[in-house]
Structures are given as structure tokens and as C-alpha cells.
Structure 1
Amino acid sequence: MTADAGHGQRLTELVRASADSLIDRWVDAVSAQLRGRSTKAELERDFRELFEALLPLIGLDGRDISGPEFGDIRSWLDEYSRSRVRAGFTPSETASSVFSLKREVFDLSASDDDPKVFRQVLAFSGLLDALGLWTFESYARAREEIIKEQSEQLLELTTPVVKIWEGVLAVPLVGTLDSARTQVVMEKLLQALVDTGSEHAIIDITGVFAVDTQVAQHLLKTVVAARLMGAECIVSGIRPQIAQTIVALGIEFGDIVTKASLADALRHTLRDAQVRGAADAVRGEVG
């Protein structure tokens, strides 16, 4: 649908003829709001791209921008919003980049007494309102996605699987354990067992603040999964407070080897590896 007969042609001509000065004033207005946090050269580059995307849309009914004719500008605003999130701008600062064009267009058309231009300016103002709101919402979506990505990356960094000896892996855990993190521990440990062919794994929870029923169950599942992969798994670093909690919760570790410290677990593992090596040597001689 069009704003009126003429499809915004008069306003388009007016805006196109004054493009350079209009963009300059637009850049100055936003630059003042950002107080130098973005250079005028960067703003001019972005605003010229946005300006070219806006020109074909002048005169269109902007109350609904979900149509295919708005696809390109929606995509541009999505990317612009994402870049603004990464650069540390606020959602208001990001959306104001769009809203600020309204005043410049109003000032540009103020001396034109053609009623059609006035109606076209009002329609264009509505379009900018819709695009500004889209920018605000797009910023919120992008921020959520980036926060999720950063959380996943942080989760990966805080659950390292370390090869401390030939055939021996260790997973030193620090902080709070929850379902998501213990799932990552299991996945990374099992993959490391496959990649290295290790037969021993130590899960050290010295730095874990607390263990509840759910966390304990996840640890037990991790140990069982490692056994199914042919590896012996030891849980170390069970401090007195955590041991009391485990007993109070009635959690049974069964035949799972537990040690008070990582050093004790490592000594046990190396001793077990030596015994197995000696046994294999004997079997080889007998054979």
C-alpha cells in the first residue's frame, strides 16, 4: 500500500536532491549523542548504506514491515544491531540512529507547502518508527544470542580435560556444578578418552563449592560412561563438608574409587597402571 497517490515521489526527490547535506546533519546529530564513541567516518559509512536502503521505501505504508519489500532493510538493521551490541552501545543509542533521521527530514521539508509532501513525511515518520522499534528488538535478540555464545565459550574454558600422564586424564573442576556443566564435563571427557586412548581419568572436585543430589548423580553417570569406554575413573578432592553432604543425602558411590586429593588420585592411578603393565608383561611371557 502507498501513503498517497504519487507513492512518495515528491519526498523521494526532495530527499535525494539533499542527500549529502541531510546525511551530514544526521551524522552530526547522532555523533553528538554518542559523544565521540563512534567516529563520524564510521557513522557516515553506515548511514549512507541505510539511506540507500530507505529511498525505495519512501511512500510505503510502514505500519507493517514484515513484507518482502522490507527484507533487505530488516537484514541490514539486524546486522547493524549485532555490531552495536559487540561494540558496547546501548539499545537506545542503537535505535536512536534510526529515529534521529526524522528530525532532519522534518526540517528539510518544512519549507515545502505541498500537502502531499506533508502526508508523505508523516508516512515516512511512521516507517522510521517501525524500523526503530525493529532495531531495538533486533538489538535485544542479538544481545541474548551473544550472551548465550559467551556463556557456552566460558563453560568450555572452565571445564578443561588435561592429559597429565601417558594414558591418564584429569578434569579439574572449580566453582559451581549444574546440569549443563556436568553434561559438558561428560561429553569432553568421553571425547578425550577416545582421542587419546587413555585408560584412566581423574575428576577432581577440590574447587567445587557444593555437591547436591543432582550433581552427584551426574558425576556417577560420568564415571559409568567412562567405564563403558574402557577407562577407570576416580573422583578426587572430596572435602569433609562435601563428604558429609553426600552421606546425609544417602548417595552411594558403590565401588567407585574416591580420593581426598588430586595427588592421592594420581599416585593411585600410576600405581594401578604399573600393576597392569607388570601383569601384561607376565601374560606376554607366559604366552
Structure 2
Amino acid sequence: MNNLTTQILDALQDSKRAAIIAEWIQEARTHNASLPRSAVADAEEIASLLARGLGEGAQADSFKDPKWSALQQLLVNLSRSGAAQGQSAGNTSVFILALKKPLLSALAQGNANTGELPASFWGLTTLVDGMAQFTATTFQRAREEIISRQQEELLELSTPVVKLWEGVLAVPMIGTLDSNRTQVVMETLLQSIVDTGSELAIIDITGVPTVDTLVAQHLLKTVTAIRLMGADCIISGIRPQIAQTIVHLGIDLQGVSTKATLADALALALQRTGWRIARQVA
């Protein structure tokens, strides 16, 4: 056990740990007044696992040692919890870095050999900085996972399949149509065709701001997939400017039924499926 490990373990022993944690929380509050309610409990658990790791022979000047796994897992949990609650990566890292001041003070008070102080300070700084960096990296990874999951959920919510009539489904498209969204639309629509036994699907692009070659290709792929399932497709929402764009780009929609409005598309779908709607005369 090296000198730095001995010094940190001495500072974290049960009789001194409360004072270290109190100074730690005080220092953290100077940088972040809105600490979570669990800050004291989190600090106590971190200090306990820090002492445990050092006692089991973990390297005091490196947080990459596998013997820090218990403390690393705790920091992972704290980072994920903070990300889920909408906290910033800086708040969590600053909380960890605030531990540096009380530990450095303890090392300075307990080190009779002043010549060893620079090495001890450097080793402790490296350890705490490593903990903070590990926390920030984990926080960022957790935030990216949350954003990715939310994007998938938004894609599903923004592409609902609506049953308009017996045997007729509709997908109202709103916003930009890209490859990922087209894939979600295709999978959801095809599964709905299977589940409901529908013969016709209406893709309404009234809410799609622009139609370019890529968007048209996505639409044509979706139409082809629907036809392979034994159903047919109508595209509605073809506004004048979109019609001009399609003609200008030379996009071939031959064989694909198109209508200006969703109402027109529904009327055509009812006609194709043998329905006839009549207004009741009083």
C-alpha cells in the first residue's frame, strides 16, 4: 500500500469521514446551490466505496483500475439518474470535483514530510479528475440514449395508422420524410394491413413541406411494399406546388393514384371497395 493510499484511507476513516463529507457538500454548494436531496447520502456512499476500493488495493492515482468497479457502477447510476431528471453533465462532475478540496486539506494536515506533498496532491488530483471524467462520459452516453429513445418514440407517434373505413387505412404524414421515418411508416402500415385485412391504404402528405427526389423515392418504395402485400395505395395531399415540383424533377408516379385532398382520396377508396355513400333527405 503506497503512501497516497494510506493518506486517503486515513482521511476517510469513520471518525473523520463526517467532517470530510460536510466540507465536501459545502464546497459543492458554492458551485451549485441546487444540489439534489440525496447529495449527502450520495457523498457518503461514494466516500465509503472510495475507501473500500483503496482497501482492496485499487490504484490511488488511476480510476481505470478494475478494482474501482463498485465505485464506477455507483457513478454510472448517479449519472443516468441525473440525465433522466434533466440535469446537466456539469452539475454531476462539479459535485465529484468538490471532493478534491477536503481531501487535499486532509493530506496537507496529515503529511509531516512536505517534500511528499506535491506527489500526493498530483496523485489525488488525478484520481478525482478521473472520477469526474468518468461521470461526465457516462452522463453523455446516458443522455444520448435518452435522446435516441425519444426520437424513436416521436417517430412512432408522428406516423399513426388510422382506420378510416372498413378496409381503408390512412397515414397522415407531417414534417420531413427521411429514410428512418419511411422505414417506420412502412413497417407500421404493413403490419396494420396484415392485422386488419385492409385492401387500401391512403398516404396523406398534406403536412409534408417539400417533395424532392428522395422523398418521392421513399413514397414509391412504400407503395411497392403495400402492393406486394396484396393491397393498393392512394397518395393524397398533392398541392399545386408539389405537383409542379414532381413534374419538374421528372418523377414518375405513373400507376399510383393521387388526389389533392384526403377527402377525395377517401371517396376514391370507398368507390374502389364497393361502398356508396348517399345523403339522407329529410
The interval holding the TM-score normalised by the smaller chain is: 0.7 to 0.9
1:105-136 Cα shifts (integer Å, max 9, x gaps): 12233322333984555423321111111112
SS in 1 for 2:201: strand
| Contact persistence 1:210–1:242 (CA under 8 A) | yes
Name the counterpart of 1:44.
Answer: 40
| Contact persistence 1:234–1:265 (CA under 8 A) | yes
Deviation at 1:79, TM superposition (A): 2.1
Name the counterpart of 2:193.
Answer: 193
**Aligned equivalents of 1:133, 1:78: Cα separation in 2:** 12
**Aligned equivalents of 1:256, 1:14: Cα separation in 2:** 77
Name the counterpart of 2:280.
Answer: none
Larger mean CA deviation between 249-258 and 102-111 belongs to 102-111
SS in 2 for 1:160: coil
**Aligned equivalents of 1:37, 1:271: Cα separation in 2:** 64
| Contact persistence 1:168–1:198 (CA under 8 A) | yes
1:44-101 Cα shifts (integer Å, max 9, x gaps): 1221221122113347435543332122222222221122222222222211111100
**Aligned equivalents of 2:135, 2:60: Cα separation in 1:** 14
Deviation at 1:102, TM superposition (A): 0.7
- Of residues 79, 82, 85 in structure 1, which corresponds to 2:80? 82
Structure 1 residues not aligned, in runs of 5+: 277-287
Amino acid in the other structure paired with 1:142: A
Show the 5 A alignment for 1:25-36.
25-36=23-34
**Aligned equivalents of 1:68, 1:257: Cα separation in 2:** 63
**Count of matched residue positions in the alignment of Structure 1 and Structure 2:** 271
Name the counterpart of 1:285.
Answer: none
Show the 5 A alignment for 1:161-240.
161-240=161-240
Name the counterpart of 2:12.
Answer: 15
Amino acid in the other structure paired with 1:46: D
Deviation at 1:10, TM superposition (A): 4.3
Larger mean CA deviation between 54-63 and 98-107 belongs to 54-63
Name the counterpart of 1:109.
Answer: 107
SS in 1 for 2:12: helix
**Aligned equivalents of 1:216, 1:208: Cα separation in 2:** 11
Structure 2 residues not aligned, in runs of 5+: 277-282
Deviation at 1:251, TM superposition (A): 0.9
Deviation at 1:7, TM superposition (A): 6.9
**Aligned equivalents of 1:56, 1:38: Cα separation in 2:** 25
**Aligned equivalents of 1:32, 1:65: Cα separation in 2:** 26
**Aligned equivalents of 2:204, 2:60: Cα separation in 1:** 59
Change (3 A) 1:252 1:80: same
**Aligned equivalents of 2:232, 2:125: Cα separation in 1:** 68
Identity %: 44
Larger mean CA deviation between 108-117 and 130-139 belongs to 108-117
How high is the TM-score relative to the length of structure 1?
0.87
1:136-163 Cα shifts (integer Å, max 9, x gaps): 2222222222211111111111111111
Runs of 4+ in 1 over 6 A off after TM superposition: none
Larger mean CA deviation between 253-262 and 83-92 belongs to 83-92
**Aligned equivalents of 1:79, 1:113: Cα separation in 2:** 34
| Contact persistence 2:104–2:124 (CA under 8 A) | no
**Aligned equivalents of 2:62, 2:190: Cα separation in 1:** 50
Larger mean CA deviation between 118-127 and 254-263 belongs to 118-127
Root mean square deviation of aligned Cα = 2.2
SS in 1 for 2:211: coil
Deviation at 1:240, TM superposition (A): 0.8
SS in 2 for 1:156: helix
Name the counterpart of 1:53.
Answer: 49
